[in-house]
Chain A
Amino acid sequence: MYKFRLHGLVADMWPLIRIMQMTGFFLLDYHEDMSFGWTSIRAGYAGSISGLMVIQFALIFINLMKQSDDVNDLTANTITVLFFVHSLVKFFYFALRRGKFYRTLATWNNANSHPLFSENHSRHHATAVGSMRRLVMYVGIGIIISGFAWTIITFVGDSVHEIPDPENANETIFEEVPRLMLRSWYPWNALSGGGYVVSFVIQILWLFLALSHAMMMDTMFCCWLIYTCQQLVHLKEIMKPLMELSASLDTLVPHSAELFRAVSATTNNPITSGDGDGIRAIYSNQHDFSNFRLNTGALANINSGSVGPNGLTKKQEVLVRSAIKYWVERHKHVVRFVSNIGDTYGSALLLHMLISTVTLTLLAYQATKIEAANVYACTVIGYLVYTLAQVFLFCFFGNRLIEESSSVMEAAYSCQWYDGSEEAKTFIQIVCQQCQKAMSISGAKFFTVSLDLFASVLGAVVTYFMVLVQLN
């Protein structure tokens, strides 16, 4: 029996998941009542929303084909079509790859824990959840503002477009088009009356749904990255207490400073002597020497007795070893999570970048035709800013992941590893080696998601714009 329990990553991302369910994604899991009736109702809801999205998109596309004679109209309509292709692509990408999304969301269902570090962990966990919810809120506000701005700008200026005059082929006249947000073809007369109201309602619904479809999935991806980064910060912070704990485990060099002092105290003896009285010469301190317990049989009790060489009980030794194990297992968990994320979302990023490249090229071309600060300029700049912001969102978080994961090595080096036990030192060694290569998300291996990618996209747009301005 499926017992619904809100735990792990799903619980942390609950508002986002609810929003996604409400906007019609095929996210049919994570409900209390998973009976067949309710599931089919939800599936029907998602299906009808997908139908609405596809049909309206097809109508916009039909309008594009009909108005393909005029270059300006064609470019403008192509940009609109490409802009909303993102929404469709992301929607159906999610529907087709649901399994992988569920698997990624379930990654943190069985996280390990350790009494020594649970406070630190819960603190960082709370920070992560706070950041995720804040991000969802900002993105939601952004979507609402964009939607309203789009609607408001529809009512500014004349809602007309140029077509060649039917009587005089050399001149153009202005023909009225419906005052709607999107240029779309409707089988009914959308210019006035009931048809207009119906079209307007459909379009406003569609606009908000499309904007949220495109952004919600990127937001989910960014939330995953926020969570990962916080886990890495947690791991970095517990490195130092871990080292200090293990330093008290079983090193028989009492203190690094004393060791070095002892060596320099033997002035004339050749240090690398094999003549046998080395140990007494170096360790003149009786306290040091007694730690070796040469003369007693107390060593025989190491494994069986309750007191180890430095006064740590067996339980404490086990605790330290388990702390190291916790760190390693947690880090492996994070690495697995990142590879799940890359697996799930990499292709979607690739498709996004392909579509965005074409969109931005066309937008650069449109931007060269701006003459004054009119409605046209506002719409072009709005499109540009929105597209670039979409790319910036995931590039920013991808870059943060790269930086956090490569700083683990620095944290490992900066804690006092030289005081730690042998086991701790080899652990630090392997961790440093592993973390030299930063974890990154790649767009289906074609490119790495980082701020470099955003810089190259921005540079390309500026270059096209400059070239096209020159050609004009």
Chain B
Amino acid sequence: MSATGNRQVSRECLDLNLMFLKLGSIFPLDKVSSSTWINILYKGYTTFTVGLFFSVSAAAPLFIICADYTLQDGIEVMSILLTQIRSGMKLITFIIYKKEIQNLILSLYKNFFIHGRNLSAEETSVVRETIDYTRKMTLGYIILYCTTALSMILHPLTFTPTDLEQESAFNQTARPQSSRPIPFKSWYPNWDITKSPQYEIEYLAQATLTALEAWCLACIDTFCVALMIYAGCQFDLLGLALKNMNKGLKFDIGAYQKRKKGSYRIKILTLNDNLRLSVITENVGNKPHTNLKEINRWSTSDVTVLQNSVVQFGWEDEDQRPSTVKPCTQDEIEAMMYIKKCIEHHHSLLIYVADMNTAFSTMFFVVFLTASILICLLGFQVIVMPPSGLMFIRVLLHSLCTVFELGFFCWYGSEVMHKSERVYQDAYESEWQDLSSGAKQFICMIIMRAQRPAAVRAGLFGDICLPTFTTLLKNAYSYLALLQQLHGGGA
């Protein structure tokens, strides 16, 4: 009962995110549901989303190339173009790197269990806490994005007639129904936006895309961040396992009892043909181990001293084990097995982070590359625009979303780095001084590897962490100040 319950905990961790991804037509796993024709329909849904995205997004570059516009409009369309580039990158990543993402999800489920056993109560509570936190964070982020999308869709409806008349005076087209605005300025060849069916079609297309895109982006961002949060949680579990090694060993003693048979090794020291001693290495001070072949026993340090010296004796091993472990008492064997499992877990976590890098590195690179410029352009719009009406709120929300998204990634990327580094401190905090020297070597290797943090990388930008966030914001501010100077100086 508890076994399935525990396995279920790991399955639960991504269920909300996967459900949202399913709604957004970018479900990473192959089978959406059991019946095949729903799967086919879903593929159609995905194709529709991609097609709509590209057809509507093409309007922005066409506008820049072919239409006339003021500086402000140009900046607005540039910012939309940059947003579309980033969203396109994210959508494409989820479609192209589907296999890698599936692997990530499956290994995430597996990595919750360190010793092939179920989670203890403490570990379960840690995991549950993380799951609740991730869910809250997902919902909050999606709500933010939906609000932004709503403001984008609705803002043309609040366009006041006074502005319209001014615009019509400029354009010298004195039509009773002057050009009604649509959410994003666009230009298509042979497509007059002022005529009636075209206006509605375009408005509908842009509104649908905005809604879909906002949903997809929010889901993608929260999915990536959820993967990072759970990776951090698993590093925490590893740290707990290392810190509580004594408690964990007692917990596992049942599991290891079965492996008692045949796990003792005896080295035979051949000094000459007459004298063969079997040497059982043991710690001085522990309870003596009673499986002996000969009466003469040497202490640990004798043997290791002889090994450290330049002479090599004729060692014969009784059973040919490939491992270089020299076990002595049962406790020490178990301790070393425990630590070995921890090392394997550490290794699989590091592989997981490396896989995440393969899948998402390009996406993060594009996001971070365009981030500074986008924040600069949006910030400029916020400064220049009069603070009234839904347009201002839309631009404000858009810039808030961009900064928040960047900070989101950087914060949780930073968390992953710090938690993976914490492993070395947890290894040091375990009761290593009571272990055998072989186990101590293991601990030393864990500390050495864990000192290099496992970081999610953003392509050529380096690691995703909070100092990167600071740098990007500082750059954005410099560009903004420059743009303001140009605009203020020019006008």
Find chain B residues with CB under 8 A from A263 CB: 309-310
State the CA gap A423–B432 with chains docked (Å).
11
A279-B301 contact given A297-B295, A429-B440, CB 8 Å threshold = no
Find chain A residues with CB under 8 A from B443 CB: 430
The answer on a CB contact under 8 Å between B444 and A422 is no
Within 8 A of B (CB), among A295-322: 297, 299-300, 302-303, 308-309, 317, 321
> How would you classify the secondary structure of chain B's contact residues: helix, strand, loop or mixed?
helix
Find chain B residues with CB under 8 A from A317 CB: 284-285
Find chain B residues with CB under 8 A from A297 CB: 295-296
Determine whether B302 belongs to the interface, using a CB cutoff of 8 Å to chain A: yes
Find chain A residues with CB under 8 A from B271 CB: 276-277, 279
The answer on a CB contact under 8 Å between B309 and A253 is yes
Cβ contact of A251, chosen from B301, B414, B429, cutoff 8 A: B301
The answer on a CB contact under 8 Å between A273 and B312 is yes
A423-B437 contact given A253-B309, A278-B313, A437-B424, CB 8 Å threshold = yes
Determine whether A27 belongs to the interface, using a CB cutoff of 8 Å to chain B: no
Of the four ranges (under 10, 10 to 19, 20 to 34, 35 or more), the interface on chain A belongs to: 35 or more
Within 8 A of A (CB), among B390-442: 414, 418, 421, 424-425, 428-429, 432-433, 437, 440-441
Cβ contact of B444, chosen from A253, A275, A300, A430, cutoff 8 A: A430
A276-B270 contact given A422-B301, A433-B447, A445-B466, CB 8 Å threshold = yes
The answer on a CB contact under 8 Å between A427 and B433 is yes
Closest beta carbon of chain B to A469's beta carbon, Å:
17
Closest beta carbon of chain A to B370's beta carbon, Å:
23
Mask: chain B, 287-302; 1 = CB below 8 Å from A; 0 = not: 0100000011111111
Mask: chain A, 425-463; 1 = CB below 8 Å from B; 0 = not: 011011001101100000001110000000000000000
Determine whether B122 belongs to the interface, using a CB cutoff of 8 Å to chain A: no
State the CA gap A273–B444 with chains docked (Å).
32
State the CA gap A61–B481 with chains docked (Å).
27
Determine whether A292 belongs to the interface, using a CB cutoff of 8 Å to chain B: yes
The answer on a CB contact under 8 Å between B437 and A422 is yes
Q: Which of A93-101, A324-332, A380-388 contacts B (4 or more CB under 8 A)?
A: A324-332
Cβ contact of B425, chosen from A282, A335, A427, cutoff 8 A: A335
State the CA gap A280–B311 with chains docked (Å).
11
Closest beta carbon of chain B to A232's beta carbon, Å:
15
Determine whether A421 belongs to the interface, using a CB cutoff of 8 Å to chain B: yes
Determine whether B196 belongs to the interface, using a CB cutoff of 8 Å to chain A: no
Determine whether B305 belongs to the interface, using a CB cutoff of 8 Å to chain A: yes
Determine whether B163 belongs to the interface, using a CB cutoff of 8 Å to chain A: no
State the CA gap A259–B305 with chains docked (Å).
11
Determine whether B467 belongs to the interface, using a CB cutoff of 8 Å to chain A: yes
Determine whether A37 belongs to the interface, using a CB cutoff of 8 Å to chain B: no
Within 8 A of B (CB), among A393-430: 421-423, 426-427, 429-430
The answer on a CB contact under 8 Å between A279 and B313 is yes
Determine whether A252 belongs to the interface, using a CB cutoff of 8 Å to chain B: yes
Cβ contact of A299, chosen from B298, B313, B424, B429, cutoff 8 A: B298
Determine whether B304 belongs to the interface, using a CB cutoff of 8 Å to chain A: yes
The answer on a CB contact under 8 Å between B414 and A430 is no
Closest beta carbon of chain A to B202's beta carbon, Å:
44
State the CA gap A273–B309 with chains docked (Å).
12
Find chain A residues with CB under 8 A from B288 CB: 303
Find chain B residues with CB under 8 A from A202 CB: none
The answer on a CB contact under 8 Å between B299 and A437 is no
The answer on a CB contact under 8 Å between B311 and A250 is no
Closest 10 CB pairs of A and B: A278-B311, A426-B440, A276-B272, A274-B314, A433-B447, A426-B437, A437-B451, A446-B466, A434-B428, A430-B444
Instruction: Please name 24 pairs of A and B residues whose Cβ atoms are closer than 8 Å in the assembled complex, sorted by A.
Output: A253-B309, A263-B310, A271-B310, A271-B312, A275-B314, A276-B272, A278-B311, A278-B313, A279-B271, A282-B309, A297-B296, A299-B299, A308-B284, A317-B284, A321-B285, A332-B428, A422-B300, A423-B437, A426-B437, A426-B440, A426-B444, A429-B444, A430-B444, A447-B470
Given contacts A421-B301, A430-B447, 9 further A-B contacts (CB under 8 A): A252-B305, A274-B312, A276-B273, A282-B311, A426-B441, A429-B444, A433-B444, A436-B451, A437-B421
Interface residues of B (CB under 8 A from A): 270-273, 284-285, 288, 295-302, 304-306, 308-314, 414, 418, 421, 424-425, 428-429, 432-433, 437, 440-441, 443-444, 447-448, 451, 465-467, 470
